[in-house]
Chain A
């Protein structure tokens, strides 16, 4: 066969297949797809022959186009042994009718059918049918509906997603997936991925989450709703949960741990490194409506007598998160907050200048035990991106970022 023909999986499912003499041999039950190659190729076919299920080599099969349908021919019945190491899936068993992630549409969709292509080198899976047409085809009324619609000059909307743009989430057979799976999910933005994960059933949720590396997992966890956050942390293994929490900013980790049961929280804090758990524990002590409970414990501060060049050098080395740099703090020899700088101040200044010469001395600060409400006014009044938080002895406790204040406002 040199010409390229496409067909729907549902047109072969449960159909009879014939010998080259035209004798019916059995029924098609499923197709096995090899995924590790460059293109997903059909390698084996699950059949029912005389009430017995047999997996046969697909290379002995042929699809011949008849007038309205396809005739499935089998030249030789050759049993197929699924290689242990192969990365392959049965379409009907693991993907058809199940939910998959539409990477471009960034949402969960249910698989109605598949579209495959026959070319000279074999039969390949090209797209997943998630549209209404596929649904009706499976019910067996798509022809009738199409004819009906054609009287009104209407067509059935079909929707296909290329196989390259989907990720399967096989919750039924957890544990047998390879570690390289879900790689397509990594290309999604954390907040999109978080939305998708929220829509999943909780088993798939944990499967997908466990497969993410810690950095990505931390980013996604941050974006999840409170309830989902708690659920994920409670269900993940203790070690993984602690690793993920460590990768998060301390105040975000504290927010999540705060919602857990005391025992579970203690267990996780003990599992985390002393440094991060210390920060989190400190944050956990603050009352719910105080500035301390929303501030970030991550900030950068420098002595007033260091040079601009030193600061820039230091920042290059430590590479802090963007929001931490909203306000670079300056302290005196006794570690008391005396001023602040913006990145702009640093960049436009001579590298040899000392910080206390260029810093902003008229600082707006809040105390860690101030009420959150006072923050809203301050941020609004002075147009700030971040406000430094100090205690009664002018020691820095952290920074409050504008997005945290916005969150509080939205929740109200």
Chain B
């Protein structure tokens, strides 16, 4: 009996730890799954289709960077109990907050547009015109948000995200040249062409999307996880990043092995869907369309709300779906502008839906360095973070993300200027 005790106790501890982890789990996984949105899937598909395996080397540094950035967001949320825009406002004052909010708002206008483009593109695969689908889903998203149970909606879509795991199977079925995959994964090579660089910026922007930092931090703050459980939150962020990037990695491989191989350019969603043919055969369109629709809807529900919260928190306006339009006018105005603008752009005749989705991710990539630098300063401020301020290792990694992203953007602009001369 005496001997058994420690074993039993040990087992109970593991069980208990698992329970705690499951309770803390959430902000990271949800944010990062929502991060593989319409823009994400399209960008990764285009990346694989146009450039084959040649961008795979970014996968490992990108995953590391994502883990670091999302961990900071989670930590800052738990420590301060505030959203990122609230912390920025209190640390940097109104002026800087104004410019960041403006950037985030404009960036999110593009993002919301890209989600509606995703909805329209996926339903076109089912033969439904965008002039019907977009307004319908815009109203649906609006109603879901106003009913206030978007948390439940979020969970439903989260389950739907699992269908992207099919890309992992599809990746194997597409029989990629694993030797080449391995080689490209570890040996970096940068092509100094604007099309290559801009795709890289889009990949960066969609993977470490600035809006995800805001969203992750406010869900962590809202959840009110205890400080002692910060390690579990770290695990949550890491696991989420790993899964999200694993899916991204296989999307690129699958598209590289199929579309790049057959020199197919992605012009419409159906071209991207062809990548799933080795797996799903003639049903590949349905599988892709379902996945894209699900991902777009998840982000379309989450993103405009989160953006409206972010802006209102920064400016000190009342916010929340529990408040009426007269109590929180700015909140509803921001929210409505995002939805209406996004919907309206998609409805422009003959506009390229794929182009819209890629464009939004380029904007994210260009915004990333700014947000990252502010995040680093905040995460190092002991008045804000106390003893939970960044450690040197985290700082080095976070600076790498910020500087890497800046360097990439600058190089692209320079190359673009040279090429256009």
Query: Which residues of A come within 8 Å of B, CB atoms?
Result: 96-99, 107, 109-112, 130, 135, 138-140, 171-172, 201-205, 231, 234-235
Interface size of B by CB at 8 A reads: 18
User: Residue A203 contacts which of B81, B89, B98, B316 (CB distance < 8 angstroms)?
Assistant: B81
Q: Are A97 and B95 in contact (CB under 8 A)?
A: no
Q: Are B383 and A110 in contact (CB under 8 A)?
A: no
User: Residue A202 contacts which of B81, B93, B94 (CB distance < 8 angstroms)?
Assistant: B81
A141 to B86 CA separation, bound complex (whole angstroms) = 22
Q: Are B94 and A112 in contact (CB under 8 A)?
A: yes
User: Residue A139 contacts which of B90, B98, B383 (CB distance < 8 angstroms)?
Assistant: B98
Neighbouring A residues of B315 by C-beta, 8 Å:
110, 135
Determine how close the nearest CB of chain B comes to the CB of A107; give it in whole angstroms. Answer: 7
Nearest chain A residue, comparing its CB with the CB of B94: A138
Determine how close the nearest CB of chain A comes to the CB of B87; give it in whole angstroms. Answer: 10
9 residue pairs, one from A and one from B, having the closest CB atoms:
A110-B316, A201-B81, A138-B94, A202-B81, A201-B82, A202-B224, A139-B98, A203-B81, A231-B224
22 chain-A/chain-B pairs, Cβ below 8 angstroms: A96-B93, A97-B94, A98-B90, A99-B86, A99-B316, A107-B318, A110-B89, A111-B316, A112-B316, A138-B94, A138-B95, A140-B95, A172-B383, A172-B384, A201-B81, A201-B82, A201-B86, A202-B221, A203-B80, A204-B81, A231-B224, A235-B226
Neighbouring A residues of B80 by C-beta, 8 Å:
201, 203
Known: A172-B383, A201-B81, A203-B80. A130 touches B318 (CB 8 A): no
B85-103 interface mask toward A, CB cutoff 8 Å, 1 = contact, 0 = none?
0100110011100100000
A171 to B318 CA separation, bound complex (whole angstroms) = 19
Neighbouring B residues of A202 by C-beta, 8 Å:
81, 221, 224
Neighbouring A residues of B82 by C-beta, 8 Å:
201
Determine how close the nearest CB of chain A comes to the CB of B94; give it in whole angstroms. Answer: 4
A201 to B86 CA separation, bound complex (whole angstroms) = 10
Neighbouring A residues of B221 by C-beta, 8 Å:
201-202
Determine how close the nearest CB of chain A comes to the CB of B265; give it in whole angstroms. Answer: 45
Determine how close the nearest CB of chain A comes to the CB of B324; give it in whole angstroms. Answer: 13
Q: Are B384 and A139 in contact (CB under 8 A)?
A: no
A172 to B385 CA separation, bound complex (whole angstroms) = 10
Determine how close the nearest CB of chain B comes to the CB of A262; give it in whole angstroms. Answer: 12
Determine how close the nearest CB of chain B comes to the CB of A212; give it in whole angstroms. Answer: 19
Known: A97-B94, A109-B316, A111-B316. 9 other contacts (CB 8 A): A97-B89, A107-B318, A139-B98, A201-B80, A202-B81, A203-B80, A204-B81, A205-B81, A231-B224
B 307-349 contacts with A by CB, 8 A: 315-316, 318
Neighbouring A residues of B93 by C-beta, 8 Å:
96-97, 138
Q: Are A135 and B383 in contact (CB under 8 A)?
A: no
Nearest chain A residue, comparing its CB with the CB of B313: A110
A8 to B33 CA separation, bound complex (whole angstroms) = 46
B 379-416 contacts with A by CB, 8 A: 383-384
Determine how close the nearest CB of chain B comes to the CB of A143; give it in whole angstroms. Answer: 15
Determine how close the nearest CB of chain A comes to the CB of B245; give it in whole angstroms. Answer: 31
Neighbouring B residues of A97 by C-beta, 8 Å:
89-90, 93-94
A93 to B190 CA separation, bound complex (whole angstroms) = 46
Known: A97-B89, A110-B89. A139 touches B94 (CB 8 A): yes
A99 to B221 CA separation, bound complex (whole angstroms) = 16
Most chain B CB neighbours (cut-off 10 Å) among A201, A204, A231? A201
A172 to B318 CA separation, bound complex (whole angstroms) = 22
A140 to B97 CA separation, bound complex (whole angstroms) = 13
Determine how close the nearest CB of chain A comes to the CB of B380; give it in whole angstroms. Answer: 16
A172 to B89 CA separation, bound complex (whole angstroms) = 14
Neighbouring A residues of B95 by C-beta, 8 Å:
138-140
A124 to B221 CA separation, bound complex (whole angstroms) = 36
B230-243 interface mask toward A, CB cutoff 8 Å, 1 = contact, 0 = none?
00000000000000
Nearest chain A residue, comparing its CB with the CB of B87: A201
Neighbouring B residues of A139 by C-beta, 8 Å:
94-95, 98
Nearest chain B residue, comparing its CB with the CB of A230: B224
Q: Are A135 and B81 in contact (CB under 8 A)?
A: no
Determine how close the nearest CB of chain A comes to the CB of B81; give it in whole angstroms. Answer: 3
Nearest chain A residue, comparing its CB with the CB of B83: A201
B 207-259 contacts with A by CB, 8 A: 221, 224, 226
A97 to B89 CA separation, bound complex (whole angstroms) = 6
Determine how close the nearest CB of chain B comes to the CB of A95; give it in whole angstroms. Answer: 10
A234 to B227 CA separation, bound complex (whole angstroms) = 12
Neighbouring A residues of B86 by C-beta, 8 Å:
99, 201
